[in-house]
Amino acid sequence: MSAWLIERLHQRVEAAMRVALNATGLEEVEEIRLQPPKDSSMGDLSLPCHPYSRVLRKNPKIIAEEIAAAVPISDGIGSAEATNGFVNLRFEKALLLREGIREALTAGEKLGTTNDYDGQTLLIEFSGPNTNKPQHLGHVRNNILGLVMSNLWEAVGYKVVRTNIINDRGIHICKSMLAYKRWGEGATPASTGRKGDFFVGDYYVLFDKKFNEEFATYRKENPEEEIEKDEYFNTQSKLGAEAKEMLRLWEEQDQETHALWSTMNNWVYEGFDETYGRLGISFDWVDYESETYVLGKGVVEQGLEKGIFLRRDDGAVACDLTQLGKEGQKILLRPDGTSLYMTQDLGTAMRRLEKFDPQRMVYVVADEQNYHFELLFGMLNLVKESFGDRCHHLSYGMVDLPHGRMKSREGTVVDADNLMNELQELAIKKIKEFESDLSDEEILDRAEKIGQAGLKYFILKFTPATRMRFDPEQSIAFEGETGPYCLYGYARVNSIASKIPGVEVDLSDEVLNTLGTDLELAVAQQLVQFPHVVRDAANKIAPSLLARYLFRLAKSFASLYQDPSHRIKDSEPHLRTARLTLGRAVQAVLQRGLHLMGIETIEKM
């Protein structure tokens, strides 16, 4: 479809407004700032006239009246009215209803898509788990944001490359390995029935338990000595020394150490795959820190030769941050030549930019790393002109529970799998309240979809930057602004159709022209906005715009079918067919919009 109805209507309104502005003496106005009115009952688009008051030396109310009188009412424009200094325009009712419904029901998988960025590549990195523990609620928000923004960017024409970087090396990984080596006794995920990432995570927790016991004993035996845990780990701890020795052996490619590392990581990857599968997530490219941690050295050394970076008196290589408009220096290579996270990120970014040549590269990472990415993008611009300008940090806020922030050491971290299981259990209870004749298999399947809808919608209805509190019970409520409510809106159309057997969708003018009440028009106004909302959500990196739109659409259709004068079953034949057709159009948009959010619809609830 070359242009969606909403786009064509906007173009027609702009052309009509240009005619009216010219007739009013505003030929020099370059930009026509049309916007939806604050109150949707005022119309479909509004033009504020206050900016023209100084030019024409007139009251904005008079200007609005003159412009409204000059707007040509034709070609999809139903009316133009002046109200308090605004020109409020309405689209032609019959066109909006007729073409909006047809568009929704004939577009198929193209519904809501545009080719705005056709031929351009966007690379997005999200998830970024560690191989010493399962993914938790914070990862869930990261994963869902990455999933949905990938879908939205594809919908506006980008070729999207979904990437992940897995932290599979370092001292924290060696802690799990050492604990397993000392106390694992040959157990495996298969022998214990434990999911692989949880199995390995148990040994990370066990190491921390054993270390705390060792530290407590040391403090008891040396009461006069004041020492922090980190210092003790690095200077006195036997377990700390063993873990550091294991890291040294890994870096020296010790065969036995690498075999254990590979075995335990593979257990974790199997667990991660299961988690990603439930969330509906896959990746086109995966980086591993065990491979990328050496990449940045070459980039830094080249920068040193070009004078971008400097060598300090202590032998370390650093970036003078005054080049980025900031103070201080950022170390990129330690005096012994080893690299840091920033070094690794520089190398990984350069490899991706050279391999995929994306026009945009997006990092989905929590807001704790805002400053890190400011520096990274600035340094990329120093290394190669405009490379950093292609990059964007999709920063998101922390996720709290109803009782406060998650804390690992206090045992309040919510693992992603356990959370999804809890939501499924809550959904099972709700299903059993309304349905008694479903098989156990059908209940589980339906509950999983309701739980996923609740989880994803709840997270996405908040803007990414917002620090949010996740409430499991509220997330799967069947009423209010929730994913299950949107699922119900979709399934409700099937329920209505089942009560009027033999009535089918009919897109003829004869049938659709019978529509025209305010409630029917309100639904159509929501329908045609879908492509605009998708585009807006993608361009503004605001998936909450899509989430809230789908709720409004479902709610507007509910207002129609719940109204006594609009009961579809009781309507006269042509009107019954038209209203069911309108319902099917709503259903098509809900399904497509929920799909973009990673939510699978349910045919019956």
DSSP characters for 291-346? HHTTTHHHHHHHHHHHTSSEE-TTS-EEEEGGGGT--SEEEEE-TTS-B-HHHHHH
Question: Is the pLDDT at 2 greater than 70, yes or no?
Answer: no
This prediction's pTM: 0.93
Residues 382 and 308 sit within 8 Å (Cβ to Cβ): yes
pLDDT digits (tens, 9 = 90+) for 264-322: 999 999 999 999 999 999 999 999 999 998 899 999 999 999 999 999 999 999 999 99
pLDDT at 178: 98
- The predicted model gives 9-35 an average pLDDT of 89
- Angstrom distances, CA of residue 157 to CA of 61, 112, 125, 316, 360: 42, 11, 18, 44, 13
Mean pLDDT of 100-126: 96
222-258 core/surface letters (b: 16 or more CB in 10 A; e: else)? eeeeeeeeeebbeeebebbebbbebbebbeeeeeebe
If pLDDT is split at 50, 70 and 90, which confidence band does 405 have? very low
Task: Check residue 121 and give its pLDDT.
Answer: 98
**How much is the mean pLDDT over the chain?**
94
Task: Give dist(CA 232, CA 554) in Å, integer.
Answer: 58
Read off φ and ψ for residue 107, nearest 5 degrees.
-75, -25
Beta-sheet pairing, 399-401 with 404-405: antiparallel
Using CA atoms, how far apart are residues 391 and 284, in angstroms rounded to an integer?
Answer: 19
Q: Give the pLDDT confidence score for residue 42 in this predicted structure.
A: 86
Question: Which of 338 and 530 is assigned the larger pLDDT?
Answer: 530
Selection from 23, 288, 293 nearest residue 166 by Cα: 288
Which pLDDT band, with edges at 50, 70 and 90, does 435 fall under? confident
Q: What is the pLDDT of residue 410?
A: 41
Residue 428: predicted pLDDT: 95
- Nearest partner of 132 among 229, 202, 41, 56, judged by Cα: 202
pLDDT in tens, 195-233: 999 999 999 999 999 999 999 999 999 999 999 999 999
In degrees, to the nearest 5, what angle opens at C-alpha 173 toward C-alphas 171 and 175?
A: 70
Please state the rounded mean pLDDT for residues 443-456. Answer: 97
C-alpha distances (whole Å) from 189 to each of 169, 184, 195, 260, 398 are: 21, 11, 6, 14, 31
Cα 546 from chain centroid?
11
Q: Average pLDDT in the 378-396 region?
A: 96
For residues 17 and 45, the answer to whether their CB atoms sit within 8 Å is no
Question: Any idea how long the chain is?
Answer: 605
With 60 as the cut, is the pLDDT of residue 357 above it?
Answer: yes
**Confidence tier at 409 by pLDDT (50, 70, 90):** very low
pLDDT of residue 241: 96
Determine the pLDDT at residue 75: 81
SS3 120: coil
Residue 417, token pair as written in the block: 């799998």
Average pLDDT of the residues in 471-499:
96
Share of the chain above pLDDT 70, in %: 98
Q: What is the CA 413 to chain-centroid distance, rounded?
A: 21
Per the listing, tokens 């999983």 go with 448
pLDDT computed for residue 517 by the predictor: 96
pLDDT at 403: 61
Q: Count of CB atoms within 10 A of residue 282's CB?
A: 12
Residue 23 has pLDDT above 50, yes or no: yes
Average pLDDT over residues 551-557: 97
Confidence grade of residue 3 (pLDDT, cut at 50, 70, 90): confident
Cβ burial, residue 64 (10 Å; 0-12/13-18/19+) = buried
Q: Residue 62: its pLDDT value, please?
A: 95
CA distances from 262 to 129, 176, 268 (A): 16, 13, 10
Question: Per-residue pLDDT for 406 more than 80?
Answer: no
Q: Is the dihedral of CA 256, 259, 264, 265 positive or negative?
A: positive
Tokens 């990455």 label which residue?
146
Residue 117 DSSP code: T
| Domains located in the chain, CATH noted | 5-91 (3.30.1360.70), 170-281 (no CATH), 295-338 (no CATH), 417-596 (1.10.730.10)
Cβ(173)–Cβ(131) below 8 Å: yes
| DSSP category for residue 282 | -
